[in-house]
């Protein structure tokens, strides 16, 4: 059974516990999420000039399109307003500003009809974020910038929630990737996928789950959920925003989703910023994660 909670009125503690059990939480657009979407749209409009950003791929050479995204995406990621709007969104949905930590938001694109599927517009194969050194208490937040359809959305594969997948995560170390492959990715204005964990066996991806919130609608799910990019055949480029959170209480207690198949090393714990002052996680809280995400002691809370 897959549970999708729509506009659930629950505490953040209750919500996190449900997510660690494999539940999804889907929220309608609100003032804070729409403000974030509008800010992203302003930056996108500026980057694309007078072109429709959803169909500009059909009028721009692929190299020029990739170069445009390579300039746009870092500006959005590192803009102070992006962090402020993320903080407002988290507080608006009941997160504790002194206990909730987030990483910088990413502006993602998925072009249509195999126009650009590598580098800056990399289409993600089925994966769990926990294969990439994410802690088992990480919660992923995802929202579309423009309307999406089932043929340009994100797909979840909940049949694998408690089912292991043979994968290459044991070869991935986040700290090592930051030292080496991240630099190579920057040179190639994209995402270096050479060392990224992948499934090593055929997967049964159908049936899948595709949630289709309107722009500003927000999906919350566990970093341990197997998910992938739907091959975009919609005729429109998809723009979306995603970021991740951890809760200090869960980090310290080693709470989170169960680990069924992640064997990576390294840690993303140094990426998170506290909502109220952008401070990093305390060193003593991060220390147990230095060798890789530890097995959750309290799975599902």
Count CB neighbours of 179 within 10 A.
Answer: 10
* Confidence at residue 191, expressed as pLDDT on a 0 to 100 scale: 47
Q: Is 298 within a domain?
A: no
Q: Which CATH number belongs to the domain containing residue 246 in this structure? A: 2.60.120
Q: Is 301 within a domain?
A: no
| CB-based contact 168:301 (threshold 8 Å) | no
Alpha helices in 1-105 (DSSP H): 12-20, 31-48, 62-78, 80-92
Q: What contacts 177, CB < 8 A, 6 or more positions away?
A: 195, 266
Q: Is 187 within a domain?
A: yes
| CB-based contact 270:103 (threshold 8 Å) | no
Tens digit of pLDDT per residue, the chain (301 long)? 899 999 999 999 999 999 999 999 999 999 999 999 999 999 999 999 989 999 999 999 999 999 999 999 999 999 999 999 999 999 999 999 999 999 999 999 999 998 876 554 455 689 999 999 999 999 999 999 999 999 999 999 999 999 999 999 999 999 888 887 555 544 444 444 456 899 999 999 999 999 999 999 999 999 999 999 999 999 999 999 999 999 999 999 999 999 999 999 999 999 999 999 999 999 999 999 988 888 888 766 5
Q: Tell me which long-range contacts 275-283 makes (C-beta under 8 A, separation of at least 24).
A: 275/87, 275/90, 275/91, 275/95, 275/96, 275/97, 275/98, 275/100, 275/101, 275/102, 276/87, 276/97, 276/98, 278/83, 281/101, 281/246, 281/248, 281/251, 282/248
Q: Model pTM greater than 0.75?
A: yes
Helices 31-48 and 62-78: crossing angle in degrees, nearest 10, is 140
- Residues 143/26/263/99 CA torsion (nearest 10 deg): 90
The two three-digit tokens of residue 242, written as one number = 């995603």
CB-facing half-sphere around the CA of 83: CA atoms within 13 A: 19
Q: Is 180 within a domain?
A: yes
| Helix (H), strand (E), coil (C) string for 78-106 | HCHHHHHHHHHHHHHCCCCCCCEEECCCE
Q: Is 46 within a domain?
A: yes
Count of domains in the chain? 1
* Beta bridge partners of residue 109, listed in sequence order: 239
* Confidence at residue 234, expressed as pLDDT on a 0 to 100 scale: 96
Q: Is 170 within a domain?
A: yes
Q: Is 293 within a domain?
A: no
Task: Give residue 258's domain range.
Answer: 4-287
Q: Is 106 within a domain?
A: yes
């Amino acid at each position: 059974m897959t549970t999708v909670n729509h506009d659930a009125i629950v505490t953040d503690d209750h919500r996190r516990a449900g997510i660690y059990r494999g539940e999804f939480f889907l929220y309608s657009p609100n003032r804070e999420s729409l403000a974030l979407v509008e800010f992203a749209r302003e930056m996108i409009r500026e980057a694309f000039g007078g072109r429709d950003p959803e169909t500009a791929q059909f009028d721009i050479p692929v190299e020029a399109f990739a170069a445009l995204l390579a300039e746009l995406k870092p500006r959005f990621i590192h803009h102070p307003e992006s962090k402020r709007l993320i903080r407002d969104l988290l507080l608006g949905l009941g997160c504790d500003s002194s206990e909730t930590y987030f990483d910088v938001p990413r502006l993602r694109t998925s072009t249509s009809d195999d126009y650009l599927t590598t580098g800056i517009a990399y289409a993600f194969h089925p994966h769990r974020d926990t294969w990439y050194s994410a802690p088992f208490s990480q919660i992923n937040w995802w929202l579309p910038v423009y309307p999406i359809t089932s043929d340009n959305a994100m797909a979840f594969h909940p049949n694998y929630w408690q089912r292991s997948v043979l994968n290459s995560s044991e070869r991935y170390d986040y700290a090592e990737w930051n030292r080496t492959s991240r630099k190579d990715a920057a040179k190639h204005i994209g995402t270096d996928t050479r060392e990224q964990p992948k499934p090593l066996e055929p997967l049964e991806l159908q049936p899948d789950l595709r949630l289709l919130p309107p722009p500003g609608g927000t999906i919350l799910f566990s970093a341990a959920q197997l998910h992938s990019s739907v091959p975009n055949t919609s005729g429109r480029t998809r723009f979306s925003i995603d970021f991740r959170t951890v809760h200090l209480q869960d980090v310290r207690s080693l709470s989170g989703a169960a680990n069924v198949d992640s064997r990576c090393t390294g840690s993303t714990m140094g990426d998170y910023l506290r909502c109220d002052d952008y401070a990093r996680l305390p060193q003593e809280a991060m220390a147990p994660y230095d060798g890789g995400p530890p097995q959750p002691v309290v799975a599902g809370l």
